[in-house]
Structure 1
Amino acid sequence: MSTVTDAVRGAGPRPAGGIGQSIRDSLVVAKRNLIRMTRIPEMILFGLVQPVMFVILFTYVFGGSMKIGDTASADVYKNFLMAGIFAQTVTFATAGAGAGIADDMHKGLIDRFRSLPMARGAVLTGRTIADLVQTALTLLVLAIVALIVGWRVHEGFAKALAAFGLLLLLGYAFTWVGALIGLSVRTPEAATSGGLIWLFPVTFISNAFVDSTQMTPWLRHVADWNPFSATVQACRELFGNPGVSTSSAWPMQHPVWASVIYSVVIIVLFRTLAVRKYRSATA
């Protein structure tokens, strides 16, 4: 009898063990999600196909018609474009993250996690880490495709790695936005739709696909102060690609610092809101 009692007590929730336990629990949840992704290969495949299609379509359909600075050269636009495509790819992963969390909520998996002796925020942190790994894989494949179609880096390997680091930081930040949306809706379909509604204006009212100096003044100001634009501009500078901004807006003059600051603020704000929403949803 005492053995059974001890087992029941051991199975019950235990108080959190601080930052160390939170990190361990987050990594366990991340491993679980990564294993799940490998068992559903179409998730990874479809995540790779869409950005590759964007590269090919924008490069060959719009390549000769977009004016960058004083030229409409297809080669110039090709190199101008890639930073925007990379940034769009990491941010569009947000919709999938939100849908995944909404699906876990809908199936009751979050309630099962809640019954375990684990840190509360670890469920969301582990999920976002797994999504970050998948995003990094997609970004690697996309970079290879970009090199094949003619994109080149001109500032060295170290700066290129720094640019990809900024891209992953932005993607991780926006994943927390997706996590909050996923916790706030009832179905995965609603999470996907809710994620895309705000992603399209964020990515297209920016300097990702067109030179912002060609926009009307009020729209140019919106684009110049867009966090997405700061990361795109920072990547262009670190890659040595065309598209140096003539804007006097602070994020365009200091894009690397602006990108880091924007991403960190988004992570802190939306992680706080998402964990609070998670606790209230499972209370």
Structure 2
Amino acid sequence: MSTTTGSAPATRAPRAGGGIGQSVTDSLTIAKRNLLRMMRIPEMVIFGLIQPVMFVVLFSYVFGGSISIPGAGVDAGAYREFLMAGIFAQTVTFATAGAGAGIAEDMHKGLIDRFRSLPMARGAVLTGRTLADLVQTALTLVVLAVVATIVGWRAHEGVLKALAGFGLLLLLGYAFTWIGALIGLSVRTPEAATSGGLIWLFPLTFISIAFVPSENMPSFLQHVAEWNPFSATVLAARELFGNLPPGYQAPDAWPMQNPVLASLLWSALIIAFFRTLAVRKYRSAA
């Protein structure tokens, strides 16, 4: 009697179940994994808090008495309130570098390849990572608001509008983490991701109305600053916090006349565009 020996079937990568429920569950699982990692390495959070606190103190006391604000002139108190929305926005967008470095590190260690071999929803790894970064950014923003209150900043429009202002800031920060995710998937080392995540942020944040009014800039830079998505969120936060000087006149550009709507539109467009590119890159990254 002969025995027929069949060859073992080829091993295939498991498939995800699909659907919104699967995607949400997988994304939250990855987010939890990254949050636990942050808790086990507290210096990551501590060092992330030091830089924005230094910016608050340095800008408030070094430049506070030397920069003229439309409607208020050279006044340290007025500049401090004018400044804080810019510092808040800079802080949430600088989380981009951390997001890119974290994903690049996972790529370098081979974790991304392991995740792709699991039955997970497409994009859940990146969504979970960006959600964890959003939680860390929110924590940083809370600490920063406390420090800002100590140096004299106040929100004058009530709790609901203040929360709306912080919500717009966090939405912009979340949108920018998708840019960081794309950078992290596109480079070979975490160091390169950190550099790549910061090099374009400095011109973006400084060619804006975050630290000085656009009226103080050369005319060609005024247009760049006024259509900068960063500027729209900064001005929206200032309006919602009640931090605009009494005589302030917004520039004529549409985003400056409609900052809240412009901030929402810019953030939504950035998320849609860069999430699509990042997920596509994730599928083909090796």
TM-score range, shorter chain: over 0.9
Counting only pairs closer than 5 Å after superposition, residues 165-176 of structure 1 correspond to structure 2 as 165-176=167-178
Q: Distance in 1 between matches of 2:56 and 2:16?
A: 49
Q: Secondary structure in 2 aligned to 1:50? A: helix
Instruction: Give the letter aligned to residue 226 of structure 1.
Output: N
Q: TM-score, normalized by length of structure 1?
A: 0.94
Residue in 1 that maps onto 2:20: 19
Q: Distance in 2 between matches of 1:111 and 1:259?
A: 36
Instruction: Give the letter aligned to residue 49 of structure 1.
Output: I
Name the count of aligned residue pairs.
Answer: 275
Deviations 1:199-227 (A, max 9, x none): 00100000000011111111011000000
Select the structure that is richer in helix: 1
2:73 equivalent to 1:71: yes
Instruction: Give the letter aligned to residue 93 of structure 1.
Output: A
The correspondence for 1:275, drawn from 266, 269, 279, is: 279
2:264 equivalent to 1:264: no
Q: Distance in 2 between matches of 1:78 and 1:240?
A: 13
Q: Distance in 1 between matches of 2:249 and 2:188?
A: 42
Deviations 1:155-186 (A, max 9, x none): 11100000000000000000000000000000
Residue in 2 that maps onto 1:247: 251
Instruction: Give the letter aligned to residue 85 of structure 1.
Output: I
Residue in 2 that maps onto 1:56: 57
Residue in 2 that maps onto 1:233: 235
Shift of 1:114: 1.2
Shift of 1:57: 0.3
Runs of 4+ in structure 1 displaced over 6 angstroms?
Answer: none
The correspondence for 1:103, drawn from 98, 102, 105, is: 105
Instruction: Give the letter aligned to residue 251 of structure 2.
Output: S
**Alignment RMSD, CA only?**
1.6
CA contact 1:245–1:253 (8 Å) conserved in 2 = no
Q: Distance in 2 between matches of 1:195 and 1:28?
A: 25
Runs of 5+ unmatched residues, structure 2: 1-9
Q: TM-score, normalized by length of structure 2?
A: 0.93
Deviations 1:248-270 (A, max 9, x none): 10000000000000000000000
CA spacing shift, 1:53–1:220, aligned 2, 3 Å: same
Q: Secondary structure in 2 aligned to 1:118? A: coil
Shift of 1:14: 2.8
Shift of 1:15: 3.2
Counting only pairs closer than 5 Å after superposition, residues 124-203 of structure 1 correspond to structure 2 as 124-203=126-205
Question: Percent of pairs identical after alignment?
Answer: 76
Q: Distance in 2 between matches of 1:16 and 1:102?
A: 27
Shift of 1:12: 5.8
Instruction: Give the letter aligned to residue 264 of structure 2.
Output: V
